[in-house]
A and B are shown apart, each in its own frame.
Chain A
Amino acid sequence: MCLSSALSITRAVRPPRASFVDFPLGHTSGRPHALDEQIALMSEALKGFEEMTHSGDIKTLPFEWQPDHGWKDAVMRPAAPDGAGADSDFRLPRLDTPQYQFESDAEAADSGCPTCVFLA
């Protein structure tokens, strides 16, 4: 099963089962430190393994990010001349060297890392 926040992409790819949650990208399984909601969301999603019996079914989960859906307006929209919407573009340059969260992670990294699998 795929747990997705991008309904159009999931409909195009057509995984065997999907659960859709209408949250902003980066919150597919919930909000930070909202464990009770994360548990409720995961249990609704996982029930789909038993409920969905037709290939390509998508279950919409009963959760709402905010009562007002205005957050959707600025997502991936070019910034307006007044700068509105400029914060919605999070893309970073496509660098081809490892991008560590902390500099100290680079020092701690094992270059022979047995749990890192590099494919051709």
Chain B
Amino acid sequence: MVKQPPIDYIERTQKQYEALGYPSYQWVYNDTAIALAPLKKPLSEAKLSLIASGGLYTRGQVAFHYKDDLSYREINVLGRAEDLRATHFAYDLAPVRKDPNVVFPVEPLKRLVASGFLGALAERAYTFMGGIYSARKVKDILAPALAARLLSDQPDVVLLVPA
């Protein structure tokens, strides 16, 4: 069996853009890691908030669009799983449309709460549309809005799941 290192998506994107004649994409390189907040209580007592960038929405909500969509959706994790939908321009949607848990792991997180491994899952999860071309707009507009919203939910830990 042939083993390979993880795919270097930055390199492959650059080569793909080059082959298509697009200008090179300016990836974000942070000089230092974002400060880490130590856990204040064991995971078995912690409340987790989920954020996912795979373009998930629920039936009844306005779907995301594909051109630098800076909006987000609140999704109640107690809602019906069959009402979850996924839309995105850049990844294979077949698996997520079979089972949203592949990029929006509500069911496994609920099971971990039921088993006592995790304290609680915040009722409101947040979703947005990854692949926003402008990293600056994400940093200046979307991320602060999501962070402020999350703080009002008072989670102990936050899990971000990109697709």
A residues with a Cβ closer than 8 A to B are 1-9, 12-17, 20, 22, 24-33, 35, 38-39, 41-43, 45-47, 49-50, 52-57, 67-70, 72, 75-78, 90-102, 105-106, 108-111, 113, 115-120
A8 touches B10 (CB 8 A): yes
A38 touches B101 (CB 8 A): yes
Complex CA–CA separation, A81 to B71 (angstroms): 40
Known contacts being A3-B161, A68-B1, A99-B64, is A16 close to B34, with CB within 8 Å? yes
B16 touches A76 (CB 8 A): yes
Cβ contact of A39, chosen from B66, B112, B163, cutoff 8 A: B112
Count B interface residues, CB 8 Å: 87
Cβ contact of A33, chosen from B11, B76, B98, B105, cutoff 8 A: B98
B43 touches A49 (CB 8 A): yes
Cβ contact of B74, chosen from A14, A69, A115, cutoff 8 A: A115
Q: Which residue of A lies closest to B33 (CB)?
A: A56
B68 to chain A, nearest CB (A): 8
Which 7 pairs, one residue from A and one from B, show the smallest C-beta to C-beta distance? A56-B33, A32-B99, A29-B105, A55-B36, A14-B33, A69-B4, A16-B36
- Give a binary string over B1-38; 1 marks a CB under 8 Å from any A CB, 0 the rest: 11110111111110110010000000111101111111
B6 touches A20 (CB 8 A): yes
Complex CA–CA separation, A57 to B118 (angstroms): 21
B14 to chain A, nearest CB (A): 10
A35 touches B107 (CB 8 A): yes
Q: List 20 A-B pairs, Cβ < 8 Å.
A: A3-B162, A6-B162, A8-B8, A8-B11, A15-B33, A26-B103, A32-B102, A33-B99, A35-B107, A42-B105, A50-B43, A55-B35, A92-B66, A94-B66, A96-B65, A97-B65, A99-B89, A115-B75, A116-B61, A116-B71
Q: Which residues of chain A are within 8 angstroms of B150 by Cβ–Cβ distance?
A: none
Complex CA–CA separation, A9 to B9 (angstroms): 7
B43 touches A46 (CB 8 A): yes
Q: Which residue of A lies closest to B95 (CB)?
A: A32
Complex CA–CA separation, A26 to B96 (angstroms): 7
Known contacts being A16-B36, A96-B67, is A2 close to B162, with CB within 8 Å? yes
